Amino acid sequence: MTRPIRKSHKLDNVCYDIRGPVLEHAKRLEDEGHRILKLNIGNPAPFGFEAPEEILQDVMRNLPTAQGYCDSKGLYSARKAIMQECQRKGIPQVGIEDIFIGNGVSELIVMAMQALLNDGDEVLIPAPDYPLWTAAANLSGGHPVHYLCDEANDWAPDIADIRDKITARTRAIVLINPNNPTGGLSARRLVKEILGVARQHGLVVFPTRSTTRSSMTASSMSPPEPWPRTTSWW
């Protein structure tokens, strides 16, 4: 008699459909020899977007001395570079001890949610969202509360909806800018307005950027405007 091994109840409300059942069908079709055009995940390398040679060289040259653990916050030189980037962007009061480097946003989102949320605490997350935020809030015992982005207004966050959904349990507001999945880019004025609401209610703001250092405008591109001071940065 063996006891079945079941997954934990913590996972009951955790959902990440980007790699859901449809992907399993795609794998089956590929195994049967069909060619699938995959437009499902934003993974640049398979489409010929490769890291610049200079960056590859840096990693290669340092590889022999990169075998041990480093400080849990991250390499000093890398954190220094991040600190200087903050200075260049005019983000004040970011010292080297304030900077934590993680294994991408996937790890840092879960870590930040675990550190911040008590059971039942609420996090304001855009709809549509990068769903890891919702999954991580649930996993950490919190409640994701979705505020709407307005499709008729270039998918800008609906600030009235944000205000309406703040309660005594709200701890944080997530901004995804530029947004995944919409590609929407919020104006600096709107971001400042949201930061004002957060300040008024004592909320942490989690700004996430999808993927790139720059953004396109309607006909060409411009570098994104510097973020105003926020509680965390990655």
Partner 1 sequence: MLASMRLCANVPAQHAIQTGLGGYQSINDLILPGGRLLAQRDVVYDKLNAIPGVSCVKPKGALYAFPRLDPEIYPIHDDAQMVLDLLLQERILLVQGTAFNWPHPDHVRIVTLPWADQLGDAIDRFARASSRATASDPRRWPTTAIPKGRARRAAFPS
Stretch that binds partner 1, among 65-73, 160-168, 196-204, 225-233 (CB under 8 A): 65-73
Q: How far is the CB of 175 from partner 1 (least distance, A)?
A: 13
The C-alpha atoms of residue 28 and residue 33 are separated, in whole angstroms, by 9
Residues near partner 1 (CB under 8 A), total: 93
Stretch that binds partner 1, among 108-116, 160-168, 192-200, 226-234 (CB under 8 A): 108-116
SS3 213: coil
Q: How far is the CB of 200 from partner 1 (least distance, A)?
A: 25
68: contact with partner 1 by CB under 8 A: yes
The C-alpha atoms of residue 224 and residue 89 are separated, in whole angstroms, by 10
Q: Which of 10, 11, 12, 62 binds partner 1 (CB under 8 A)?
A: 62
224: contact with partner 1 by CB under 8 A: yes
Nearest partner of 119 among 96, 86, 143, judged by Cα: 143
Q: Can you name the residues that pair with 143 across neighbouring β-strands?
A: 122
Which residues 111-140 are close enough to bind partner 1 by CB under 8 A? Answer: 111, 114-115, 125, 127-131, 134
Complex with partner 1: residue 187 or 200, whichever CB lies closer = 187
Stretch that binds partner 1, among 103-111, 157-165, 190-198, 225-233 (CB under 8 A): 103-111
Q: Which of 151, 167, 200, 226 binds partner 1 (CB under 8 A)?
A: 151
Q: Which of 201, 215, 230, 231 binds partner 1 (CB under 8 A)?
A: 215
Q: How far is the CB of 45 from partner 1 (least distance, A)?
A: 9
Q: Which of 3, 41, 93, 120 binds partner 1 (CB under 8 A)?
A: 41
Please name the residue that has the structure tokens 């590859």.
56
Complex with partner 1: residue 45 or 168, whichever CB lies closer = 45
Please name the residue that has the structure tokens 């079941």.
6
Which residues 174-213 are close enough to bind partner 1 by CB under 8 A? Answer: 177-185, 210-213
Distance of CA 5 to the CA centre of its chain: 32
Backbone angles phi, psi at 202, to 5 degrees: 65, 40
Q: Are 105 and 212 in contact (CB under 8 A)?
A: no
The C-alpha atoms of residue 127 and residue 155 are separated, in whole angstroms, by 10
Distances (CA, A) of 71 to 49, 79, 98, 117: 31, 11, 13, 25
Please name the residue that has the structure tokens 């950490």.
140
